[in-house]
Structure 1
Amino acid sequence: MKVTHVKICSVQEIEHALAAARAGADYVGFNFVPGARRHLPEEKARRMVQAFRQAYPAGGLKLVGIFADQPVEEMNRILEACDLDMAQLSGHEPLEYCQGVARPTIKAVHVDATDDLARLHALLAELEQAGILPLLEPQVAGSYGGTGQMVDWGLARELAASHRFLLAGGLTPENVARAIREVRPWGVDVSSGVETNGVKDLQKIGAFIRQAREAFALTHQREKE
């Protein structure tokens, strides 16, 4: 039984995607947000996906295109042209927009410590009912993730008791196990936490996935006891 879901976000080189796959990641993200520091040109993304499909023809790991407040027609075109499995919406897209996406969808939910818990419960339930996987990340003005800032774990734990989501924000190989023990999310997402000097670090990618899997397995075992 699979008890962990790990996403490595905003890879920019094929070796980073391949390292994530070898280490056992479930999702790898490619960033198509204009102006983002980790933005990936469409043609490069297409070549990377082709190389990845050749290395892993059986599939399994999902390749995710990351977008934010972009025209849905443009996003669907990129998803098709780059042969991506899923979309992640990291902006302020309403549910009606999400339902126009031509691939299974992850939707970022931006939270801060002052957020109303009832509102978040309702929002996550709405996304889940629509078949959309929520991703919980901190609210940071002018940013669409990858900031290294953290979600309030106490708030996230309250939500994890009732909802399935990816936990993002400030996770690293050093703290992901503790985050999993304290929050008990369905999965975890990382970008800056597996970088060195702004570049994905192959050793950190492997360490993050290993720590996450071990923590998820231990947490699952304790829940069964």
Structure 2
Amino acid sequence: MPTPHVKICGLRDAHNAQTAALSGADLVGFVFVEGVRRQLDPTTGAAIINRFRNSLSEDSMPGPRVVGLFRNQPVGFVNRVVKMAALDMVQLNGDEDDAYYEQMVVPILRQVRVRPEMSAEDLEGIVKDHLDAGRMVLLDAYDPNTPGGSGKVFEWSKAANVAHFEGVLLAGGLTPENVSGAISELNAWGVDVSTGVETDGDKDDVKIHDFVTAANEVAR
């Protein structure tokens, strides 16, 4: 089985991001969504990302792709943050549409929240539409109270037909303890975590390392 792709999300400092990179994460995510717990303002976020990249240069590491999270924010704002922070990708967690996608200046990771009433067939159609358009997909649990990072698990069986597709990340309630089982069960191409590598609301370096290690061990 190929080594799964791993994204560590909701990072708020350069040290945790460096831990993710040194552990072998493929993507690191920083949240620019207003009014959420893990929010970074553009100036702070750009400074953290710059420090993170400088730390990788000192270690002569190529580093993971840097993803900025946004939700229903003006196109101009998003593209401005992309340039300020030199983001490699944007993750869109809102109601953005095709007209919005076309104005993005970097590749897109599209969050798809798996609602309880959504069938596996419905989900497969949505995922294929995004992949066919060149967008990566993040499958997350639906929670009416938060746009993401809730730590809730959705019914994984609904993703059985799509989790192995290149460009699809499985999210929602993953932890160092259950990520290997999720990858094995669904033959997942990639996984994403935020809450599952936190202790008392803050990112935990040990959990970050353990999560990436557990995910990568599935391929051995």
TM above 0.5, one fold?
yes
Match of 1:192 in 2: 195
Deviations 1:94-138 (A, max 9, x none): 233122211111000011232033322221111111110000001
Match runs of 1:1-225 below 5 Å: 3-57=3-57, 59-160=62-163, 164-215=167-218, 217-218=219-220
Q: 1:39 to 1:161 in 2, by over 3 A?
A: closer
SS in 2 for 1:37: coil
Between 93-102 and 107-116, report the one with greater CA deviation.
93-102
Task: Provide the rounded CA distance (Å) in 1 between the counterparts of 2:213 and 2:197.
Answer: 12
Identity of aligned residues (%): 40
Once the 2 structures are TM-superposed, how far is the Cα of residue 162 of structure 1 from its aligned partner?
5.5
Task: Provide the rounded CA distance (Å) in 2 between the counterparts of 1:95 and 1:118.
Answer: 22
Is the contact made by 1:112 and 1:139 (CA closer than 8 Å) also made in structure 2? yes
Match of 1:222 in 2: none
Between 71-80 and 156-165, report the one with greater CA deviation.
156-165
Is the contact made by 1:124 and 1:163 (CA closer than 8 Å) also made in structure 2? no
**Structure 1 unaligned spans of 5+:** 219-225
Task: Provide the rounded CA distance (Å) in 2 between the counterparts of 1:2 and 1:47.
Answer: 34
Task: Provide the rounded CA distance (Å) in 1 between the counterparts of 2:167 and 2:87.
Answer: 23
> Please, what TM-score do these two structures have when normalized by structure 1?
0.91
Q: How many residues align?
A: 217
Q: 1:120 to 1:96 in 2, by over 3 A?
A: farther
CA-atom RMSD, angstroms? 1.6
